[in-house]
Amino acid sequence: MTELTHRRADGAVHMVDVGSKPPTRRVARAEATLVTRPDVVGLLAEGRLPKGEAIGVARVAGIMAAKQTPQLVPLCHPILIDAVEVDFDVREDRVVVTAEVATTGGTGVEMEAITAATVAAISLYDMVKAVDRLATIEGVRLVSKSGGKSGDWVRP
């Protein structure tokens, strides 16, 4: 195991200095899944939930969340985000939310992608809870990342 770079020699946590790292194109993709009943997925897909059109609201929530990640995750650097894409794969009893975040900089966007996917899924939950309080959010995970010193990685 490599030594964690978010610790000082005395063991205290600190924010890593990324100022001397060369800027590279970095992209991360993450997903989160809202699991609910098939009839609720139908209402969601048709835009007929009591709270309205959920997909558009959740897409904007995910984009906004990616931009707020440094305010939510203590050791994340505020970075310039080049792009955020939030997509929805509507299936029989679930909606898989995928978020892809890109930057050109000295640090990655894995946390921004995970935050975007998670908040988009939370927003979907908020939209469906009136018809299914048993809905769950599952499978929050990084799917892939590219760029930076550690190179490319794809979940097996």
Greatest distance between any 2 Cα atoms in the chain: 56
- Residue 109 CB: number of other CB atoms within 10 A? 31
Residue 31 β-bridge partners: 98, 141
State residue 55 phi and psi, 5-degree precision. -60, -50
Q: Which of 17, 82, 87, 126 is catalytic?
A: 126
126 is catalytic: yes
DSSP state of 92: S
Residue pair 130/51 in contact (Cβ under 8 Å)? The answer is yes
The encoded tokens of residue 70 equal 């440094």
Active site residue ranges: 126
